[in-house]
Amino acid sequence: MKITVLDGHGLNPGDVSWDGIKAFADEFTVFDRSPQELVVERIGNSEIVLLNKVHITKEIVENCPNLRYIGVLATGYNVIDTAACRERGIIVTNIPSYSTNAVAQHVFSFILHFTNQVASHSVSVHDGGWISNPDFCYWLSPLTELSGKTLGIYGFGHIGQKVAEIAHSFGMKILVHAHSAESFEKAKKSLSFDSSAITMVSVDELFKESDFISLHAPLTHETKNLVNSKTLSLMKKSAYLINTARGGMICEKDVRDALDSGKIAGYATDVLLEEPMSKDCPLYKAPNCVITPHLAWAPKETRLRLLGIEIENIKAFLAGKPINVVN
């Protein structure tokens, strides 16, 4: 059994072990990164290929006759031509629900950045601001309590539900736009608090009424460019937008225009339309814009959980009972 990892550095820059996956292989190779032009060559006669962001096209599939299984080391699998894989009998799996806690935590790191301004005040103190100040305290910008504020959650899967639970602990009001009323009611039953505190609303209501909006849906035809000049115009000027879902859910130019004109108070994102970031990205150096480099999923505990799920995926595949199949 030959197993090849095409872009292992994102998951494992050296602080976790591949041994659990290596145990399945007679030959095991890890490439930190693989340019598209080398993908066929590097897959070679591998039966199992693991990847994160490398694209697997129909042409690649046709030129790798030994390939039997592709394990996507992430939840999203849009980089794979799943139809082409299905036609050739190649199983494709993903890693569901591994990053729920980490991503929800990152959402609130963004929210608390806007409300408490910890970093800017720490910089001010280290620049001598407190030494020269005549008062025992000072603040550079208004500070905000979350209690009583309204959080709008677009998408109510595992991450959206976890975000709701954290928001509830802060005393926030919670509005949700879910895929359907049926899925909303089903999700409410799994919450750890009184779900009567959550209200399902339309997209327009979500953007109009929320003090913070957090996006938690996959990128589909329905959600592509969900955030645009129209939906942004519905938001309060004091409202903040948080995106830990997919860069394609927003029109970056429209968000930049809204930030430049003060139509919204701020935008925080862990994802962009083009990754790595391009110098031509409309959000580059935008005002009141916080950008992290797609790291919400990256705590070590989270990556170890991901690896554990992939080990179970491979084990099930080899036993002839594949799980987490997406094609």
The answer to whether residue 294 is catalytic is: yes
Q: How far apart are CA 267 and CA 256, in angstroms?
A: 9
Q: What is the CA radius of gyration of the chain?
A: 22
The answer to whether residue 88 is catalytic is: no
What's the gap between Cα 1 and its chain centre?
A: 33
Are 211 and 186 in contact, with CB atoms under 8 Å apart?
no
Pick the catalytic residue from 168, 246, 256, 303.
246
The answer to whether residue 42 is catalytic is: no
Find the helix or strand (DSSP H, E) in which 83 lies: helix 82-87
What is Dmax (Cα atoms) for the chain? 74
SS3 204: helix
Are 26 and 71 in contact, with CB atoms under 8 Å apart?
no
Pick the catalytic residue from 294, 303, 305, 310.
294
Q: How far apart are CA 202 and CA 51, in angstroms?
A: 37
Among 141, 127, 125, 3, which Cα is nearest to 71's?
Answer: 3
Q: How far apart are CA 327 and CA 310, in angstroms?
A: 16
- In this structure, which amino acid lies at residue 143? L
The residue whose two tokens read 């509005």 is 175
Among 130, 149, 132, which Cα is nearest to 238's?
Answer: 149
Among 83, 5, 16, 47, which Cα is nearest to 303's?
Answer: 16
Residue 215 CB burial class (10 angstroms; 0-12, 13-18, ≥19): buried
Q: Write out the catalytic residue numbers.
A: 246, 275, 294
